Every structure is written in structure tokens, then in C-alpha cells.
Amino acid sequence: MLRVLITGITGFAGSHLAEHLVAAGHDVHGLAHEDPPFPNLAAIKDRVTIQAGDITRLENVRSALAASRPDAVVHLAGLAVPTLASADPIAAVRLNVLGTSALLTALEELPGTRLSIASSADVYGAPERIPVAEDAPLRPDNVYAATKVAAEALTREFGGRHRAPVVILRPANQNGPRQHAGLATPSVTFSTFATWLVLTRRRSR
């Protein structure tokens, strides 16, 4: 059994991932900025532990990590709607870049904790070729994509400096129950990711 901390657990992606991890028998914790109740977590409300806090506040992130002592962290918190990011670039940078930086800083005190962060396929901009290769050039063409490129850079630097196990995900458009009205991966994605967490854990033993 893994102990997993999900930032942004009350959102679309976070709540689906939490459901799959709970179903697989893992100990799921979350960092949430909003107050309860958490409608997206209604089906598992008694099977997850929520820590209240702001992802951009280092002391809040440290508290969540201290309370959960996770084997793995999945960083999903942030501003995920490109149109909202363009309308408020300062908020987008604060949540997506500063929030990632706060998490990385806090994780320096927990060496060995595996980290996965959600970037976006938007970092590729308008690709020259379809399908898009993972190593295609990054050409962010909106504020949201630019913040994701910055968050990726911070994460890679952290992983290299600390030789830490980090994974950067670049999902394309997601759809399904509970998604934000401004967004356009089926649930199998979260099931696959939950399986990846378990298999990675087993291989590391």
C-alpha cells in the first residue's frame, strides 16, 4: 500500500485519481484550498484525508507533507483553464509556478519521495507534426502553457539537483464527469496512472 498526497485533490483530475487510488487500496491524502464539503469527493469522502492549505504558501505545503508523510506526491493543483490564465496572468503564475516552487522547496526535506506533476500538451503549442513526439520542441503560445513550461523547468532542476525520482506528465484535453466547464482524459487515464504508481513501487523494493 502506498501513501499518496494529491495536491488539487478536489478538482476534476485529482478527484478521479483519488477514487482509483482508494479503490486500489492505497492511503490517499489531499491538499485542498477550498472549504468543505467537497462534492467531487462525495463517493470517497470517508476514505481520504484532506489537509487544508494554499499550494503557494510554503508553510501550508510543509504541514500537509508532515501530516501525510507520503511515499509519492501527485501535483495537480493550479489554474488549469487557459482562458482564465490569459485573463489573469498574475494568478496563473502564482498558482502554477510559485505553487510548484513551494512544493519542490518543501520536498527538499523529504528525500526519496516520488513526485509526479501535471504539465500539459499545451507546452508544444501548434505542433509541426501529428502525432506529437515527447521530445518535440516546446513552443508555448499562451499564458497557461508558459506557466507549465516554467513549472517543468523547476521540476527538472529539482530532480537533477537532488537526484530525485520525478515524472512530468503532459496530458492532452481531458473530458469526463466533474470537469470544469472551460475544459474540453477518460477515466482509464487515471486507472493507468494508479497502476503505474503501484508497479513503480514494487520495482523499487
Please list the active-site residues: 144
DSSP-derived letter for residue 1 is -
3-class secondary structure for 81-101? Answer: CHHHHHHCHHHHHHHHHHHHH
Per DSSP, helices labelled H in 28-122 are: 58-68, 82-87, 89-92, 99-107
- What is the distance in angstroms between the CA of the first residue and the CA of the last residue of the chain? 13
Contact between 103 and 75 under an 8 Å Cβ cutoff? The reply is yes
